[in-house]
Amino acid sequence: MAGSLQVERRSIEPVPEGERHGSPRSLFTLWFASNMQITSAVTGALTVLVGLHPVWALVAVALGNAIGGVPMALHAAQGPKLGIPQMIQSRAQFGVYGAVLPLVLVVLMYLGYFASGNVLGGQALSAITDLPVDVSILIYAALSALIAIVGYKLIHRFGWLASLVSVVVFVYLTFRLVSTHDLAPVLSNVELDVPAFLLALSLTASWQLTFGPYVADTSRYLPASTSIRATFWWTYGGTVLGATWAMSFGALAYSVAGNEFKGREVAYVVGLGGEALVLPLLLAIALGKFTINVLNIYGGYMTVATTMSAFTRRVALSPATRIGYIALVGVLGGVLAVLGRGDFLSNFVLFLHFLLYFLTPWSAINLVDFYFLRKEKYDMEAMYDPNGRYGRWCVPALVAYVLGIAVQIPFSHVDGVYTGFVVPLLGGADIAWLLGLVVPGVLYWAWMRNKVRAAEPVEA
């Protein structure tokens, strides 16, 4: 455990082979814990809320996570091969300066998810300690920042502990849900609403796709000899199993409880356990949300550092600078959570759904470049040099990225904010994310396949 408490020295620079360690099995517990939490359950409830029969909602949960988990886990496999944070690697596709565009959007995503996580975790902490909610939110944000400062080893060790707690808690809660409610009526008279099914599918697949910008951050310390297959399957298994279980619980909970669950998720979950288990369940909720909260601030600081280093050209950060970046993200996320506990935060989360339309094309371009064009071979020094192999801007990548966003617009649907003209023709289904994956990936491959050599020398 003492080794886990050593403060991480690396930031956005490549991790030397001599400092690589660990097994891809640790990725299972980390991503299982990140998904087995209350927000996943709420997302599962949405699949029933959109009008889908509970049986088909369970199918959509399983299928959506299975599909969305594929690109997510493919990103994870990049970490051991390159030993650098996820978004640094984007410079090979977009150019050192061109990568700033998706980087800025990812920073906003991190801040939003970190802020929303602070609100939920702070509410649970407040119920445990009787401290004011705003104070609890700030304490929760500070604790998240502290673990992020210690870094990679502690994050993985914490993921193992949180996974163990999550399994115990969700086994118990699932048993209580099934044993205290009659599920037969809500599971009978099965009918398939295709548009609602497609919408539910997009909700659950999108959950996994949003992990893309930072999943390699959690695998970059693994030895370079770690196989892509092992990294993929341990990550995929943890994220898909955790999310499917938690979302299925949420879908069933909303099916039998309705408004008792909607808007009162924490109170409902705690109530399932009875009075004697209120405190343990509140602690479990706070702990479960903590894992993904730490990952959000950890990835957020590296994304901010990556953005700034494009102009400062600094490869390594001093410990003080690293802590400063983490503190900056922590303060912004904590303040945003306190100020936005009401309608503003809800609107900001809607904005984050918009960001998905911007992040999916990035994911497609990044994966096509890594697996089909450069085939895992990159020039590490050029990642940090605007005058290097990858240059300042890559016009084909930027054009493919913009077109990947544009093609989604007619098919996009964000409730109460925007509905593309094709959506009503599909009965309200949102399939924009599918186009956001396919179109920019194909365009980038077509434009770059004759410009990129199949193999580039890897420089230490």
pLDDT recorded at residue 355: 74
Q: Residue 1: helix, strand or coil by DSSP?
A: coil
Statement: residue 226 has pLDDT above 70: yes
CA distance 281 to 267: 10
Statement: residue 261 has pLDDT above 50: yes
Statement: residue 370 has pLDDT above 50: yes
**Least confident span in 43-52, 53-62, 177-186, 317-326:** 317-326
**Least confident span in 129-143, 251-265, 285-299, 384-398:** 251-265
**Among the listed residues 249, 216, 202, 218, the one whose alpha carbon sits nearest the alpha carbon of residue 90:** 216
Q: What are phi and psi of 293, to 5 degrees?
A: -65, -40
> What's the whole-number average pLDDT of the chain?
85
Is residue 264 very low, low, confident or very high in pLDDT (cuts 50, 70, 90)? Answer: low
Read off the pLDDT of each residue in 263-267 and give the average, rounded to a whole number.
Answer: 68
Statement: residue 422 has pLDDT above 60: yes
Q: Which range, 56-70, 181-195, 197-211, 251-265, is most confident?
A: 56-70
Contact present, 27 and 160 (Cβ < 8 Å): no
Domain extent, residue 332, equals 3-9+20-448
Is 239 part of any domain?
yes
**More confident site: 52 or 268:** 52
CATH number, domain containing residue 160: 1.10.4160.10
Statement: residue 435 has pLDDT above 70: yes
How many domains is the chain built from?
1
Is residue 46 very low, low, confident or very high in pLDDT (cuts 50, 70, 90)? Answer: confident
pLDDT recorded at residue 233: 97
pLDDT recorded at residue 459: 47
Is 105 part of any domain?
yes
- Per-residue pLDDT reduced to its tens digit, 87-118: 889 999 999 999 988 888 888 888 888 888 88
pTM over 0.85: yes
Contact present, 444 and 93 (Cβ < 8 Å): yes
pLDDT recorded at residue 307: 83
What does the CA dihedral 192, 50, 199, 299 come to, rounded to 10 degrees? -140
**Least confident span in 121-135, 169-183, 281-295, 393-407:** 281-295
Q: Which range, 25-34, 236-245, 350-359, is most confident?
A: 236-245
Is 454 part of any domain?
no
% of the chain beyond a pLDDT of 90: 32
Radius of gyration of the chain (CA): 21
Contact present, 45 and 260 (Cβ < 8 Å): no
- Per-residue pLDDT reduced to its tens digit, 297-330: 888 888 888 888 878 777 777 778 888 888 888 8
pLDDT recorded at residue 346: 58
Is 64 part of any domain?
yes
